[in-house]
Amino acid sequence: MENIFDQLIDSYLINHVGISDHFLSDSLAGSLKMNLKEHYSNEHFKKAGIGNEDLVSIDKLIRGDKIFWLDKSHHNQFEDAFFLLIDAFILHLNSTCFTGITGYEFHYALYEAGTFYKRHLDQFNTNKDRAFTVIFYLNENWISADGGQLCIHHEDATQMIAPLNGRCIFFKSSELEHEVLLTEKPRLSITGWLKTNVA
């Protein structure tokens, strides 16, 4: 796994956005996708809000996804396998890059056809503990016409990233504004943040 971890870190160091196209195995991606769909069909998902827990608001003109938080208390074998992978990556990241990551949080995200997320930054003004944003895509056979690209705004250019199955994206939460473009069909992912103790 260290080769995949290094691929993500090395690409981040080159362009401020880490990309690994096979961070999730096909088997794990498929199992997580199945789990996501089961939670969605059981109506466990909620409309995503804007802001932190104290200031959250719902605005479909800015953000249209629905989310369901992953939690170790679920004792779900696929989520547990995902958490083991994240734990290994954090251990490698802290030992090689001295990032001081102490925790994380992740949720399933589903964008229904016709939804999007306008340009934003992932770190709150009132809470600086989100150090890195990490996104894992669960979309098989995705093509350009399906939309839903992640658009990352660098200082002098924009970077378009397709939400391809198994692909992982990694960037600093406080630095890069980004948006999810209009999707033409359901777009599935796991999105989360590696956190420090900085308040």
What tens digit of pLDDT does each residue of 79-133 get? 999 999 999 999 999 999 999 999 999 999 999 999 999 999 998 766 789 999 9
Q: Which of 48, 47, 49, 53 is closest to 126 using CA atoms?
A: 53
Dihedral sign computed on CA atoms, order 46, 190, 120, 102: positive
Is pTM, for the whole model, over 0.85? Answer: yes
CATH number of this structure's domain 2-195? 2.60.120.620
Residue-range domain boundaries for the chain:
2-195
Using 50, 70 and 90 to split pLDDT, how confident is the model at 74? very high
Q: Is a pLDDT exceeding 50 seen at residue 56? A: no
Provide CB contacts within 8 A for 89, sequence distance 6+.
Answer: 1, 5, 8
Write the pLDDT tens digit of every residue in 155-178. 999 999 999 999 999 999 999 999
